[in-house]
A and B are shown apart, each in its own frame.
Chain A
Amino acid sequence: MADDLFNSFMNGPDEKGRFGKFGGRFVSETLMPLILELEAEYDRAKDDPSFWAEMDDLWKHYVGRPSPLYFAERLTEHLGGAKIYLKRDELNHTGAHKINNVLGQIILARRMGKTRIIAETGAGQHGVATATVCAKFGLKCVVYMGKHDVERQAPNVFRMRLLGAEVIPVTSGRGTLKDAMNDALRDWVTNVRDTFYCIGTVAGPHPYPAMVRDFQSIIGKEVRWQLAEQEGEGRLPDTVIAAIGGGSNAMGLFFPFLDDPSVRIIGVEAGGKGVDEKMQHCASLTGGRPGVLHGNRTYLLQDDDGQILEGFSISAGLDYPGIGPEHSWLHETGRAEYVSITDKEALEAFQLSCSTEGIIPALEPCHALAHVMKIAPDLPSDHIIVMNMCGRGDKDVQTVAKHLGFDMSDTEGREVG
């Protein structure tokens, strides 16, 4: 696989922001000077030890890193095959991996003298993380959120407002996550002098996909040393698995292992009601084809005319018609495998995590766990799987109750008749 420096999966992107043919900088001229400025500042910060010292300090004392790498013993016994570890990024401050990246971007924004932060959010996790870090640094924060998501994720909307952010319900287009991203870009194009756009996933124009990946790579880097600590020097996972919407938690887990050929890498997309049923899923790689949206070329859900389609998933955090360009490239090169899991399978995984490990997971990582449930039983007991538990499930309890037929207003917790 990676015989030398020139044949590595870790060298991307190239100077044009490309991973193979994917990625790039497909933005309007107004934004182009801004992303060039961002790229230059990130290049300086990346090589500046004081930047990483500030990150490490906040990761440790504010976020609570390193997050544990936890041997899920009862889950392993229950599935009766591979040894399963969970990377506990749901224990981070704000309850998900999103804050790893937000910290990096906000520190960068401060270095650039930007005073106003904008973000898009789907389920609200990235919005909450951004509002949190803005509150900590006293920065103005504006979050764009699809109207439909504002309604179904009311607790996160209130959290963001408590944290001092302005939440703008997006009604343009179909009022979903992709439209929230469109409106954030429209805001940025209007407020070019003082505003920093904090993108929540490994998508958008270069340098965002690489930058967000670098910030999230703390996940995989920790797994490397934590597993060696628990399983012996040099022991690598045999399989790493993560759920994918845009793909930032997955990229963060995968990246440090790309040049270890013995490590099998699996990304799990949201299959919704099933990838065969038209438009009832969010599986860009298994059900889409290459196109250009939101500043980069990648796999997209689109119709025959190149119009973008809406995704469908039980999980608002996976509800995006695209995927980070580096995943598209890893898919085409074959370095990583991508599969999909249905809503129904994710709900089964949700319940198994609760009952065997006492962990109430977010619906996003339940997709990864559902795939672990499929493959672990057929693997030997010395096969180590590391799965990223990228978010906790507080935000999803209502949704799950509804799907499982529980009436939350009934204090007896009886099933709906």
Chain B
Amino acid sequence: MTRIDAKFAQLKADGKKAFVAYVMAGDPDYGTSLEIVKGLPGAGVDIIELGLPFTDPMADGPTIQLAGQRALDGGMTLQKTLDLATAFRKTDDETPIVLMGYYNPIYNRGVDKFLVDAKAAGIDGLIVVDLPPEEDEELCIPAQAAGLNFIRLATPTTDDKRLPKVMQNTSGFVYYVSITGITGAAEAEAEDVAPDVVRIQAAGNLPVVVGFGINTPAKAEAIAGVADGAVVGSAIVSRIGKGEPVAEVLGFVKSLADGAHRA
């Protein structure tokens, strides 16, 4: 059982929905980023999605693109991202960390070496945007063998015929992308999302969290209400990008978490 599985079991026992927060590792710099990540559990975050910076984030909108550039300009690397996770783990051994990014930096390091290092750094799961089920042999299957969850994205274009393929090697939870589009673009609507969440819950035995297009506590509450949890990324990252003090960023995160937890 990974930290992710344990977290969902506990949330279920408490009758609570999950609140997942995304931040880019190293944004705006390593020190500030570590301070923010360390503050997330206290702000009510159940699962941390840690962005791995990449020069060519094809599924991300301007907010997260710029966060990646800030991190890279500040010298962030895959190694420093793992270092950040290691540093976080010294203070928190319970909150799951999901590393979210693109495949090339991982492929470049070497999949086997990466998995050993990621596990050692206390990473619990991976979301790799450009690895669909058709490329499962690349990283998904080795990651599961190494004891890491491989969390798949399901989208509005994932029809019933394709859904079993998407579910097949997925573990931990399923991330439902609420809109066709990039991060931080259109707004998600609970009534549009609800039928797809039911469809995905029925196709497997995994929690379904919904992300993309969630930017306020009310929206987090509405979306979490029709799913097993809600993810917020761009709305948090844009505040970091504006240079808001860490305490204010975490205050905003807490309002989102409270929203999701009201559901």
Chain A residues proximal to chain B, CB less than 8 Å: 16, 24-34, 172-173, 178-179, 182, 185-186, 189-192, 291-295, 297, 300, 302, 305-308
With both beta carbons as reference points, the residue of chain A lying nearest to B105 in the complex is identified as A306
Taking chain A's interface residues, is the majority helix, strand, or loop, or is none over half, making it mixed?
mixed
CB-defined contacts of B135 to chain A, threshold 8 Å: 24-26
CB-defined contacts of B58 to chain A, threshold 8 Å: 28, 182, 185-186, 189, 294
Bound CA span A330–B56, Å: 26
Q: Which of A24, A27, A33, A307 contacts B54 (CB 8 A)?
A: A307
Do A29 and B181 touch (CB < 8 A)? no
Q: Does B109 contact A (CB under 8 A)?
A: yes
Bound CA span A29–B106, Å: 19
Bound CA span A294–B130, Å: 9
Bound CA span A32–B166, Å: 11
Whether A26 touches B56, Cβ cut-off 8 Å, given contacts A33-B158, A306-B108, is no
Bound CA span A24–B53, Å: 23
Whether A189 touches B65, Cβ cut-off 8 Å, given contacts A293-B104, A305-B78, A306-B108, is no
A328 CB → nearest B CB, Å: 14
Binds A, one of B27-35, B39-47, B149-157, B203-211: B149-157
CB-defined contacts of B104 to chain A, threshold 8 Å: 291-293, 300, 302, 306-308
Do B157 and A33 touch (CB < 8 A)? yes
Do A29 and B166 touch (CB < 8 A)? yes
CB-defined contacts of B62 to chain A, threshold 8 Å: 172
Do A189 and B182 touch (CB < 8 A)? yes
Do A192 and B180 touch (CB < 8 A)? yes
Chain B residues proximal to chain A, CB less than 8 Å: 53-59, 61-62, 65, 69, 72, 77-79, 102-109, 129-135, 152-159, 162, 166, 177, 180-182, 185
Bound CA span A315–B177, Å: 39
For the complex of A and B, list the 6 residue pairs with the smallest distance between their C-beta atoms, beginning with the closest: A306-B108, A306-B105, A190-B181, A30-B155, A32-B132, A305-B77
Query: What are 17 pairs between A and B in contact, CB < 8 Å?
Result: A24-B134, A28-B59, A28-B132, A30-B155, A33-B158, A173-B69, A186-B58, A186-B59, A186-B182, A189-B182, A192-B157, A292-B107, A294-B56, A295-B130, A300-B104, A302-B108, A308-B56
CB-defined contacts of A189 to chain B, threshold 8 Å: 58-59, 180-182
Do B55 and A307 touch (CB < 8 A)? yes
Bound CA span A308–B133, Å: 24
Do B130 and A190 touch (CB < 8 A)? no
Whether A291 touches B177, Cβ cut-off 8 Å, given contacts A33-B158, A172-B65, is no
Bound CA span A306–B111, Å: 13
With both beta carbons as reference points, the residue of chain A lying nearest to B59 in the complex is identified as A28
Do A173 and B103 touch (CB < 8 A)? no
Do B108 and A29 touch (CB < 8 A)? no
Bound CA span A27–B104, Å: 12
Bound CA span A33–B156, Å: 10
CB-defined contacts of A292 to chain B, threshold 8 Å: 102-104, 107, 130
A47 CB → nearest B CB, Å: 23
Do B180 and A16 touch (CB < 8 A)? no
Bound CA span A185–B162, Å: 21
CB-defined contacts of B105 to chain A, threshold 8 Å: 305-307
